[in-house]
Amino acid sequence: MIIGIPENSDFSIHNIPFGIFETSNKSPRAGVAIGEYIIDLAELSDYGVFDFETSVLKKETLNDFISLGKAITSKVRIDIQSWLQDTSSVLAKHSELFIRQSSAKMRIPIRIGDYTDFYSSEEHATNIGKMFRDPKNALLPNWKHIPVGYHGRASSIVVSGTPIHRPIGQTKPKEDQPPVYGPTKRLDFELEVGFITGKNTMLGQSVPIDLAEEYIFGLVLLNDWSARDIQKWEYVPLGPFLAKNFASHISPWIVTLEALNAFRIPGPDQTPDVLPYLKSIGEKNYDIQLEVSITPEGSEEENICHSNYKYMYWNMAQQLAHHTVNGCNINVGDLYGSGTISGKDESSYGSMLELTWMGTKPIQMKDRSTRTFIKDGDTVTMRGYGEKNGLRVGFGEVSAKVLASK
């Protein structure tokens, strides 16, 4: 290796994720993460090492680069892995191509045209069903037949580090009284993983499940915030609206699907059998460890959740196949959320709603304060990584501070 990489770095040579960064003297451009550094792809391209139109590396989003296709984007990643191990390579000769991550500002890596959020963790859906419906029939009749989802708001998706204000809306604290207007009192996070599409389709075209991964460029961590009290009042009959559209955060580095191959595992048994267009063959789930922490303002970080992406009942291929089976067209840069990821034990629940069981089991912070939902001044941080046989591929983090309502 021509540079040192800290032990347990998310950004090992096995990863090489793509993102958009800027510095005080560099405009927004494409880069890849390696250890504590960013390799400036735009400047690297000036040395004539790439055989494609490199102007795409000097744009403010990765959409046009991704649109070149995996034959090109995967080769860029593989070439960089090779150059990092070659003491005579262009990277070895030009140290100025390495930018410290600490001196760069990360931008949202893609232009998101459309956003879909699924509801694909059986444990999460069961917990919600127990809280709000019949505990003996927690899952709705359609849940094990289709990957349930809804279309969300793309304009309010922002990159990690962007603070948000507590949302305002209508709530109905008491059933026998009119609704009231004001800030949410039940602000919550939702631990999710999002995938990003890398190919377009035409209206009327569907993506067969056995080809779905060809249309998926990579993954990010996703915090799909939720205002639970606003949601409870508004969600019948058409689902969440103001409770969800105020903000969602994604991590800045897109980890390619290829970088995660070592962490593929079989998914859960799906009973009853799914319809043929949803039948998934091979290892389509991923063993990605996930965690969530809360840092109260002026205090220490407290880890409150350890979960795993492997718990998904519906995998990405099934989600995309179902999303397009009716001919819905997709575009490069579209974002698809997994839905809240919860595991089988209480410490692996992916939201405050579940962790505190609707506020009845407060969580204690290191400063001895307690949380049932997120307070003003709190910073919520999510991290994720795969680790196996000495190989580690991580996402870094998605983090955001909650400010008081405007």
CA distances from 322 to 206, 213, 265 (A): 9, 13, 21
The Cα 195–Cα 255 span in angstroms is: 9
Query: DSSP strand E in 238-339: where?
Result: 248-250, 255-256, 264-265, 285-286, 289-295, 302-308, 335-337
Residue 217 reports pLDDT greater than 90: yes
> Strand 216-223 relative to strand 248-250: parallel, antiparallel, unpaired?
antiparallel
pTM over 0.95? The answer is yes
Mean pLDDT, residues 91-115 taken together: 98
What was the pLDDT predicted at 404?
Answer: 98
Of 14, 124, 322, 323, the active-site residue reads: 124
The Cα 254–Cα 218 span in angstroms is: 6
Mean pLDDT, residues 352-377 taken together: 97
What letter would DSSP give residue 380?
Answer: E
Strand partners, 250: 159, 222
Radius of gyration of the chain (CA): 21
The Cα 312–Cα 287 span in angstroms is: 10
What was the pLDDT predicted at 115?
Answer: 98
CATH of domain 115-403: 3.90.850.10
What was the pLDDT predicted at 313?
Answer: 98
The question of whether 124 is a catalytic residue gets the answer: yes
Task: Report whether 330 contacts 324 (CB < 8 A).
Answer: yes
Looking at the chain, the domain(s) classified CATH 3.90.850.10 span: 115-403
The Cα 282–Cα 264 span in angstroms is: 9
Within 8 A by CB and 6+ apart from 237, the residues are none
Helices vs. strands in the chain: H and E counts, helices first: 8, 26
The Cα 101–Cα 105 span in angstroms is: 8
Quote the Cα angle for 348-261-400, to 5°.
45
What was the pLDDT predicted at 134?
Answer: 87
Looking at the chain, the domain(s) classified CATH 2.30.30.230 span: 18-107
The Cα 242–Cα 262 span in angstroms is: 39
Domain covering 18-107: architecture: Roll (2.30)
Task: Report whether 365 contacts 294 (CB < 8 A).
Answer: yes
Per residue in 231-274, pLDDT (tens digit) is 999 999 999 999 999 999 999 999 999 999 999 999 999 999 99
Mean pLDDT, residues 101-105 taken together: 98
Mean pLDDT, residues 212-234 taken together: 98
Mean pLDDT, residues 380-399 taken together: 98
What average pLDDT does the structure give for the chain?
A: 97
The Cα 163–Cα 220 span in angstroms is: 19
Residue 123 reports pLDDT greater than 90: yes
What was the pLDDT predicted at 133?
Answer: 86
Q: Residue 121 in 3-state DSSP? A: strand
Residue 178 reports pLDDT greater than 90: yes
> Strand 216-223 relative to strand 191-197: parallel, antiparallel, unpaired?
antiparallel
- Per cent of the chain over pLDDT 90 is 98
Record the tokens describing residue 254, joined without a space.
């897109």
Average the pLDDT over each of 28-32, 133-137, 214-218, 283-287 and give the range with the smallest value. 133-137
Residue 96: how many other CB atoms lie within 10 Å: 7
Record the tokens describing residue 377, joined without a space.
């001044």
